[in-house]
Structure 1
Amino acid sequence: MEVKDIKKVIESCHLNFLIGSGASKNFLETLKGVEEALDILDKRTGLSENQTDEKVIKLIEASIKYFYFEKCIKKNIKLLDVTDDSNETLNNYTNLLSALQTILAKRTSNLVSKQVNLFTTNMDVFLDIALEKLNYSYNDGFSGRMNTKFSTENFHNIINKVSSYYEYQSATPLFNLFKLHGSLNWKYNKEKDTIQYDNQLESTKKISETELNAADLVNCFDKNGNFLRLDEIYKEAEKKDFSKVQKKLDEFMEEYNNLIMVNPNKEKFEETTLKLSYYELLRMYSNNIEKENSVLFVTGFSFADEHIRTITLRVAKSNPTLLIIVFAYDEEAKNDIEEKLNISEHHNIIIKTKGDGNYTFAEVYNSIFKEITEGLQIPPSENKTTNTPENSAENKAEDGK
């Protein structure tokens, strides 16, 4: 499938993107070994009958999650202070979003909406900050200003603009941002049983301020990020003086568990509201790609997530009008994804590789969407925005940030 073919698809299809951790690579690490580590620890794989001390197990768990926090989460705090174009990864996001905004603004067909659905398993705030920086209209599921509240019902909202004369209305290009695994800018209010917005990443900052450090923990990974033997890690962990580290461990784990996210294993939320929101977001992912004449672009995502993989394959089989285009990083990634998706059984899944290089997130924009939008110009904006009855909650760019 060439760029000209993708352009034709975009002109007539509902636009959906599935974005994984590979999109934030370089600034944040992907650390596939963490998922394996937590799964092995949960099953106690490789431990002997005598290796059952729960204090030691908790220390290993804290060591894995501390490693994950330091490599994949903590640096998000720095993104809050980015005001220029110095962050290359953030620029990759803004470039793609700018291209999509142009595509949406130039759409003339009334058969498909001027919306794009951004589904991501990333807990980072790159998309949030990029949309805010560009001042685009977007919906992230939150409503309210003084007391923000998350509800998947808000994703049914639309935004219209009305001209100063004749009250002519037109749909505004809108990005729907679905954080399928939760987000670092979410916080849970146990008293009100609601998910609220954390625009300053206070939960993440509290974790970074705990006194726990690498010297209190045990090394669980080699230099390539691969998980070491659990029984050997256990032997090192039981040598620790728990009288000195237990308090710091408890503090770290308490703050870490306040993050509203699905850890990189198959852990589920305990709170009913969080659990329902998680499964509702997956349902909305399914519903959107089930729409007739939909396209799903996949980048930075390996389909290792069992739930998302199962949903995607089910819809690919039941919806013959759905087209899935996967940008695989390289040939090795392509072969892995082909095996996971059993590609031979699905005629509507295309996996693309770049013959003269790798399909990084930046390259997906440069070689595909930048070329598609060349020559397109965004029409002059209308004078003001008005909320239709379907749009009681405004753009989150105005919403509690």
Structure 2
Amino acid sequence: MNSDQFLKDVQGKNVNFLIGSGASFGVIPTLWIKSLNKSFEELLTSNDYDKKQKKVLFFIWFELWIRKTKILEFDSEDETHIQYERFVNNLINFLNNEGFDKPKRINIFTSNYDTLFEMIFDKVSKDNRLTYFNDGSRGFFKKYISTENYHLKVSHSGMSDSFQREIPTINLLKIHGSVTWSNNHGLIEVSLENKIFEKLSELSNEIIEDIHLFNDFTDDKLIEPSEYEDAILNKQLNEENLKQELTTIYAECTDKIDSFFEYYETLPVVNPTKQKFKDTVFQQHYYQLLRMLSFELEKPDSVLIVFGFSFADEHILEIVRRSIVNPKLKIYVIAFDNNAKSDIEKRLGNLGGNIIEYLPSKKMPDGSEIKGNFSYLNYLFDGREEENN
């Protein structure tokens, strides 16, 4: 499918995105551990690791993934940052080209808890003053999130006339939580100066310092935390060595690991263990966002564009599967490659009819795969005639 045809198919529709960790790849690693041929999720849910070892795994999880999700500055040399900016600008152009009788709103449902979208919204808003970027929060010195804040239609009228024009609105709905959230007396507060994140970073630094000290005084070296991404995710590391690593770290840093884990359990994010929020406030918000996703997919002429999402979340998977009752729904799944497509097809099953379409749908002239990467997603909204990856 070329870009022009795709745009014709989705224009005038209720457009929703479901975006997962694949979108942030390049800035934040995937959960796949090449050296063990399994995901980090499998480690955290495996019965082969005891409670002490799993506490250390959460410390490593924080260092490898969580700590990297607080992104405040745009990096003009980073390809992922560039694609995020291109994507948001494409959505703005798409909405601006919609007629006044068509919806000028797009919903981005994401399982990511990084701040890439917020950082890009902040960057592009200076040149797009008549676009409303909505993360569901309201406030000035203190900002609080509520699902009620998503049901808004924002209009603009000129100084010399009374005609109101709906301006483009991009809603960001972070289903799995965010590193900028905290529970403030029963309300979800949004702040870049997140005390939970800062405390976890402080405790993590203390554990790292203890690992440094251990390595200074022993011949049996532990992996340096700064090398976790390369050593754990990419290099050859068998599970016995990893288990010994975890056991040694816990023995050397018992009190600090226990304190870290106790504090980590208050961080408002859905972990790879698939266990949902322990905090009732965040749990309620999670289910409210799921209901919103379900409601959007039930609307007439709805479109769901899935990118970088594996459907590992059973609740989201079930909502999408149930959405087949809407004959006016169209789902586009952008799969990175054939293996990813096969995995998603197994999870979704046969939804029947033409409700779902997998993209890219063809190969390059030389027979090689067209990768369903961020560049391809942006190509679909660029309006160009030829696919360019």
> Residue 60 of structure 1 aligns with which residue?
53
**For 1:73, which of 60, 63, 66 is the aligned residue?**
66
Question: Which deviates more, 14-23 or 264-273?
Answer: 264-273
Matches within 5 A, 1:242-321: 242=251, 244-315=252-323, 317-321=324-328
Distance 1:186 1:227, change over 3 A: farther
Structure 2 residue 183 is matched with structure 1 residue 188: yes
> Residue 5 of structure 1 aligns with which residue?
5
> Residue 387 of structure 1 aligns with which residue?
none
Cα deviation 1:98-137 (Å, max 9, x = unaligned) = 0110111111151x31000001000111111111111141
Deviation at 1:146, TM superposition (A): 2.3
**For 1:146, which of 141, 162, 183 is the aligned residue?**
141
Gaps of 5+ in 1: 48-56, 375-401
Structure 2 residue 95 is matched with structure 1 residue 104: yes
Identity value in percent: 33
Contact 2:56/2:257 (8 A) holds in 1: no
Q: Aligned to 1:74, what secondary structure does the other structure show? A: helix
Structure 2 residue 30 is matched with structure 1 residue 39: no
Output the CA distance in 2 between the equivalents of 1:165 and 1:123.
43
Contact 2:41/2:273 (8 A) holds in 1: yes
Distance 1:35 1:138, change over 3 A: same
Cα deviation 1:189-239 (Å, max 9, x = unaligned) = 2xx11110122344333322221129489889954499965x886566555
How many corresponding residue pairs?
Answer: 352
Q: Aligned to 2:44, what secondary structure does the other structure show? A: helix
Q: Aligned to 1:188, what secondary structure does the other structure show? A: strand
Cα deviation 1:358-396 (Å, max 9, x = unaligned) = 11112221x31112699xxxxxxxxxxxxxxxxxxxxxx
Q: Aligned to 2:269, what secondary structure does the other structure show? A: coil
Cα deviation 1:51-109 (Å, max 9, x = unaligned) = xxxxxx343122222222222221234x2133x52332122111011011011111115
Q: TM-score, normalised by structure 1?
A: 0.80
Contact 1:99/1:373 (8 A) holds in 2: no
Question: Which deviates more, 21-30 or 86-95?
Answer: 86-95
Deviation at 1:328, TM superposition (A): 0.6
Contact 2:135/2:172 (8 A) holds in 1: yes
Deviation at 1:142, TM superposition (A): 0.9
> Residue 105 of structure 2 aligns with which residue?
115
TM-align CA RMSD: 2.7
> Residue 380 of structure 2 aligns with which residue?
368
Distance 1:225 1:281, change over 3 A: farther
What letter is aligned with 1:142?
A: S
Deviation at 1:314, TM superposition (A): 0.5
Q: Aligned to 1:119, what secondary structure does the other structure show? A: strand
Q: Aligned to 1:298, what secondary structure does the other structure show? A: strand
Structure 2 residue 336 is matched with structure 1 residue 329: yes
**For 2:197, which of 194, 204, 227 is the aligned residue?**
204
Output the CA distance in 2 between the equivalents of 1:164 and 1:181.
42
What letter is aligned with 1:205?
A: E
> Residue 345 of structure 2 aligns with which residue?
338
What letter is aligned with 2:258?
A: D
Distance 1:278 1:236, change over 3 A: same
Q: TM-score, normalised by structure 2?
A: 0.82
Contact 1:122/1:183 (8 A) holds in 2: yes
Gaps of 5+ in 2: 33-38, 126-130, 215-220, 365-369
Matches within 5 A, 1:228-247: 229=239, 237-238=246-247, 242=251, 244-247=252-255
